[in-house]
Each structure stands twice: as C-alpha cells, then as structure tokens.
Structure 1
Amino acid sequence: MNNELQSLTQSLRDFAKARDWAQFHSPKNLASALAVEAAELLEPFQWLTEEQSRNLSAPKKAEVAAEAADVLLYLLQLCDKLDIDLMEAARLKLIVNGEKYPVASARGSSKKYTDI
C-alpha cells in the first residue's frame, strides 16, 4: 500500500482507538457502514439529469466529496481489518477487468462481459 494510504489508515486506527470504537469495527459492521455510505453518495445526484450531474454546483460538489470521503474511510478500515492491500487488490482487479473486457470487443459498449 502506498504511504498516503498507510498514513490515512494509521490515522483511522488512532481515531478509533481514542474513542474506543475498534470494538464496533468488525468486518461485517464496516462492510454494512460502507454500503450505507455508498448509498448516501447517490443522494446529491437524485433527480438530476445526466448533464446536471456533470456540472454540480460548489455546494453539491462538497456534498459529494464528503460522502466519497466516508466511502473511502470505511473501505480503508475494512481492508485494514482483513489485512487486504487495497492498492494491490485494485491492480489485480484492473488486470482481471482487462481480460473480461478486451478493447476490441468492449470499446464503446456498455454491455456486461458475458454479453460481448
């Protein structure tokens, strides 16, 4: 994992330890919290057109940033609890996705890999 993510993960450990919250941070609870925060990330986009979603006002963009940060923080905590190197997992997933979606058949298509 890169140094910035390691530093942020350590800050999350320290934050939870100071509040005695580690007892609540089981992988199941963190995954649940992550799902809730990911759903909250949708709220600022609710009822917007595609175009509006691409041109958010500064306050809306700040809302999205705060929710995206919540998602990242819970994801880092979950990976920390399960000893998952998130950067390595992401690199490996990108390779798998490249194999599932070869450029020649996936370019310009939104079809799932099973349909291309």
Structure 2
Amino acid sequence: MTSPLPSASSPTASPDSLAQLQQRLRDFAAERDWQPFHSPKNLASALIVEAGELLEHFQWLTEDQSRALAQPGPAQDAVAAEMADVLLYLVQLASALEVDLLDAAARKMVVNAAKYPVAKARGRADRASAL
C-alpha cells in the first residue's frame, strides 16, 4: 500500500499533459535503471496489482460508504494515491506499447456511444457497465 500523496501545489507535481507525464516517468525509470524491468508484461501485471490495491479501499463498503470517499480526508488521500499508481502504470504501459491513450479513449467513446445509444440506456441499471 502506498502512502498519501504530497500536495499538488509544488512546482514539479503536476505535468501539463500525458506526454509530459510519460516523459517524466521515462526519466524517473532511467535515473534508477528500471527500464529492463518495464516490459509491457511487467507493466500490465503491476497495473493489475495496483488496481487490486485500489479495490481494497472499497471492499465491504456499502454504496453510500463508497460515495463518502469523495469527501476530503485520509481515506480519500489513500484512494487518490492508489488511483495515481494505477494511472502511472497505465501511462507507462501506453508508452511501452506506443499507444496514444487520449486517442484510444476518444475512439472507445465513439464505439461505446454506438453500442449503447441514449434511447436504449435510459432507465437501465447496467448502463454504467458500458465502460
């Protein structure tokens, strides 16, 4: 489990784009000689491990309790740290496989819109599973 994140107000905390984040992650790994370990297979495995750690925060919560994690505090900080881990591994995986995540997401949204038109989705409990 990771520790809560430092404040995003520091000058180096927030990259302006996914490309900038990818570069910072490449530099971070290069400085530590981690590139040999960052194969697509290893990054995908690490992504799933981190997604599991994110899920731990929701295990056994009711719907209302899970929604309460939107409130600022230590629980939200811990969830945010796990979400960041998931994002960082996903961005590294996209970099390793040369996938433009924003383009892939835009294309997937078009597919989802065609697959789940608004008229079909209204009032259906399973519409959230479209993603």
Q: What TM-score comes out, normalization by structure 1 length? A: 0.90
Deviation string for 1:24-77 (max 9, x for gaps)?
000000000001111111111122111111112611100110000000000000
What amino acid sits opposite 2:117 in the alignment? P
How is 1:1-116 mapped onto 2 (pairs within 5 angstroms)? 4-56=17-69, 58-111=73-126
Counterpart-to-counterpart distance in 2, 1:86 and 1:80 = 9
Moved over 2 A (4+): none
Unaligned runs of 5+ in 1: none
Q: What TM-score comes out, normalization by structure 2 length? A: 0.80
Larger helix share, 1 or 2: 1
Unaligned runs of 5+ in 2: 1-15
Counterpart-to-counterpart distance in 2, 1:87 and 1:14 = 21
Matched-pair identity in %: 63
Higher alpha-carbon deviation: 43-52 or 69-78? 43-52
Measured on the aligned residues, the alpha-carbon RMSD in Å equals: 1.3
Q: Give the paired residue count.
A: 110
